[in-house]
A and B are shown apart, each in its own frame.
Chain A
């Protein structure tokens, strides 16, 4: 039987076309995104710096990641054009702090608004508004805004550094907020301190954790989907240093191996606006689970050995990332050298021609911006978003990452819940 399910309460909407057998078990799932805005075309012909204002508008929840990808791309164009461009350690650290904030707030919203809410609803329990989670995510955004001026949609990073010139007062405020966020994660999300959480992951006890994260896992267990949602177990991390690392199958990989496949799109006679993103012609999972496994974080690696890339491991990886990012932000704030310059003026963009690539690890995974610039003007611009990797639409022979995770689910509702473990965002996927 074929059924069509509208997936709401994600970022935007998606349609899943399920093929089920007589008992309702999902045999195949087709993923469609029907909204398209043409962001890449909007950028063509503009001054390259305008992209710093336009690309954050790809997505209301990860716009900052787009900003950082854009600024790295432009800096890469400078370097490829043989023009030196310097960024102080301080500016780099501030960019990393604000980027990490975006990941943390995203993960909190996803855990409460999507995972806790949807799993409880399927169990017939009507959950209330997760006000405490929204409050703490607004605090994380406040920490970000101390440096970026606002969240969402700031444009405070420019080739050469950042526009802000923070003092110790901002750093002090940021550390105060960070302490509150860490308390929330300890008391509400985990129900234990971070050491006990690490122990629980290593000794397979996460299900007994008393916080809201434990509740999500127990909801998944009650629904019989906790150990489901397994995909290809192929992982990719492209961001951070532009050194590309691929876990489990390849190593020392390069950006040239990334390709887009538009065979499923409307333009090619298909029924979605989303192009697939492929590495060496194959689907790879990106995002918190990929990052944890590539960084060989002990807890997630232990869970992956026991449960593979199931819902349990995928959900825990996102929670574990909140914890590790808080520690990283603390470290960066503590070691910030405010005497360094925020911005080192580069030669005018109008003197620059060439190609460039900017890659960051966004909340949902590896985000790539590529462009060709001619005397400071954008000739062409290509964006590959994390959700294109994870939500790509393959065939029943070679399914995409989320597609494969849904196949075998006992019902379309359970498959839809597994789909949401990938932190679905339709605005990003189509852009």
Chain B
């Protein structure tokens, strides 16, 4: 539990970023409630106590340090290199949130300079980021971007002194224990191996041909919906696996197959068992699943 739970002090620092996590968080409809119990010492867009210049000059203490964007030692904010700024602020805080896939694993921007760019604890799957020695303070919220509610949840858990169960990448199990596949409206098609055939329909599973990574990507996108209403798979877009250290993979809109079976299996399913199951499921021809859900859309 924090010393003054009524007013948790947060620093939001940006590394190499597109500001996507900042704008994602601004979508949280509970932002007003959140700001009643939190105070930003620094934030890139919201009104805050310290400007970036002052932040770099004072290097203040905080309760939570949120880091958005990828890490590179020489990248500067207000003239101070990240290799100086980030450890200084990190050593003066009790909790660190690595927000988004860039901060968590290097993300897309690592592709531009793989040697120099990493996450703050992890570099892809490997634990060799600059804050690895402080790993116990770090909670990973991967995602491109991270869902605003995931961040609110973690801050709320920290403020109320509750223990957060974490996975191997220090992601909260309550958020990443699920797969994106979980809660997908197309699950029945997945079970009976009915392909969507093409984009732009409500029907069919996107895993078999359209590149969907939902069956092996950790994330609660289909439980805690985006913008309260939808998700990539609900709008017919294949999951791009953005919460995983492997993001971004390539050929994102097609599924690599072997003998017309996806080469990457749903998480935890042995290939042999899957093949047996798929063979059996495919032998069923369920008329209902081969028809349109709504015949006359007009």
Report whether A50 and B19 are in contact in the complex, using a CB–CB cutoff of 8 Å: no
A37-45, A195-203, A265-273, A314-322 - interface stretch: A37-45
B294 contacts A by Cβ under 8 Å: yes
Identify the closest chain A residue to B249 (Cβ).
A50
Interface residues on B, range: 35 or more
Report whether A46 and B294 are in contact in the complex, using a CB–CB cutoff of 8 Å: no
A-side contacts of B202, CB under 8 Å: 165
A-side contacts of B18, CB under 8 Å: 37, 57-60, 63, 427
Report whether B20 and A146 are in contact in the complex, using a CB–CB cutoff of 8 Å: no
A152 contacts B by Cβ under 8 Å: yes
Supposing A149-B232, A155-B237 touch, asked if A167 and B294 sit within 8 A by C-beta, the answer is: yes
B29 contacts A by Cβ under 8 Å: yes
What per-residue 1/0 map shows which CB atoms of B190-233 lie under 8 Å from chain A? Answer: 00000000111110000000000000000001000011111111
B-side contacts of A147, CB under 8 Å: 235
B17 contacts A by Cβ under 8 Å: yes
Q: How far is the CA of A223 from the CA of B155 in the complex (A)?
A: 40
Report whether A155 and B227 are in contact in the complex, using a CB–CB cutoff of 8 Å: no
Please give the residue numbers on chain B whose beta carbons come within 8 Å of chain A beta carbons, in ascending order: 14, 16-24, 26-29, 31-32, 35, 44-47, 51-53, 75-79, 108-109, 111-113, 144-145, 198-202, 221, 226-237, 240, 242, 248, 250-254, 294, 296-298
Interface residues on A, range: 35 or more
A-side contacts of B240, CB under 8 Å: 53, 155
B-side contacts of A345, CB under 8 Å: 198-199
B-side contacts of A158, CB under 8 Å: 199, 253
Identify the closest chain B residue to A114 (Cβ).
B45
B-side contacts of A11, CB under 8 Å: 19
Please give the residue numbers on chain A whose beta carbons come within 8 Å of chain B beta carbons, in ascending order: 6, 8-9, 11-13, 34-35, 37-39, 41-42, 46-47, 49-50, 52-54, 57-61, 63, 91, 109, 113, 117, 127-129, 131, 134-135, 137-138, 141-142, 144-156, 158, 160-165, 167, 173, 337-339, 341-343, 345, 427
Interchain Cβ contacts within 8 Å, total number: 205
Supposing A37-B112, A129-B35, A427-B17 touch, asked if A61 and B200 sit within 8 A by C-beta, the answer is: no
The one of A47, A109, A128, A150 that contacts B252, using a Cβ cutoff of 8 Å: A47
Supposing A35-B16, A35-B75, A145-B226 touch, asked if A163 and B252 sit within 8 A by C-beta, the answer is: no
B-side contacts of A162, CB under 8 Å: 199-200, 236
Q: How far is the CA of A336 from the CA of B23 in the complex (A)?
A: 29
Report whether A127 and B47 are in contact in the complex, using a CB–CB cutoff of 8 Å: yes
A-side contacts of B24, CB under 8 Å: 60, 152-153
Supposing A338-B298, A427-B17 touch, asked if A154 and B201 sit within 8 A by C-beta, the answer is: no
Identify the closest chain A residue to B251 (Cβ).
A47
B-side contacts of A173, CB under 8 Å: 229
Supposing A6-B78, A13-B77, A53-B240 touch, asked if A165 and B29 sit within 8 A by C-beta, the answer is: no
Report whether B230 and A150 are in contact in the complex, using a CB–CB cutoff of 8 Å: yes
**5 A-B pairs in the complex with CB atoms less than 8 angstroms apart:** A142-B229, A145-B227, A150-B230, A161-B200, A173-B229
Q: How far is the CA of A61 from the CA of B24 in the complex (A)?
A: 9
Q: How far is the CA of A147 from the CA of B231 in the complex (A)?
A: 10
B41 nearest CB across to chain A (Å): 14
Report whether A8 and B235 are in contact in the complex, using a CB–CB cutoff of 8 Å: no
Q: How far is the CA of A145 from the CA of B23 in the complex (A)?
A: 14
Identify the closest chain A residue to B227 (Cβ).
A145
Identify the closest chain B residue to A126 (Cβ).
B47
- Best-buried of B22, B200, B221 by chain A (most CB within 10 Å): B200
- Best-buried of A13, A39, A165, A173 by chain B (most CB within 10 Å): A165
A-side contacts of B47, CB under 8 Å: 117, 127-129
Q: How far is the CA of A135 from the CA of B227 in the complex (A)?
A: 11
A-side contacts of B14, CB under 8 Å: 12
Report whether B253 and A141 are in contact in the complex, using a CB–CB cutoff of 8 Å: no
The one of A152, A160, A338 that contacts B297, using a Cβ cutoff of 8 Å: A338
The one of B16, B51, B227, B298 that contacts A8, using a Cβ cutoff of 8 Å: B51
Q: How far is the CA of A151 from the CA of B25 in the complex (A)?
A: 11
Report whether B20 and A57 are in contact in the complex, using a CB–CB cutoff of 8 Å: yes
Report whether A150 and B231 are in contact in the complex, using a CB–CB cutoff of 8 Å: yes
B-side contacts of A141, CB under 8 Å: 27, 227
- Best-buried of B23, B29, B111, B294 by chain A (most CB within 10 Å): B23
Identify the closest chain A residue to B236 (Cβ).
A163
The one of B32, B78, B226, B298 that contacts A339, using a Cβ cutoff of 8 Å: B298
The one of B35, B78, B250, B252 that contacts A131, using a Cβ cutoff of 8 Å: B35
Report whether B235 and A109 are in contact in the complex, using a CB–CB cutoff of 8 Å: no
Q: How far is the CA of A144 from the CA of B44 in the complex (A)?
A: 24
A-side contacts of B108, CB under 8 Å: 42, 54, 57
Report whether B199 and A160 are in contact in the complex, using a CB–CB cutoff of 8 Å: yes
B130 nearest CB across to chain A (Å): 18
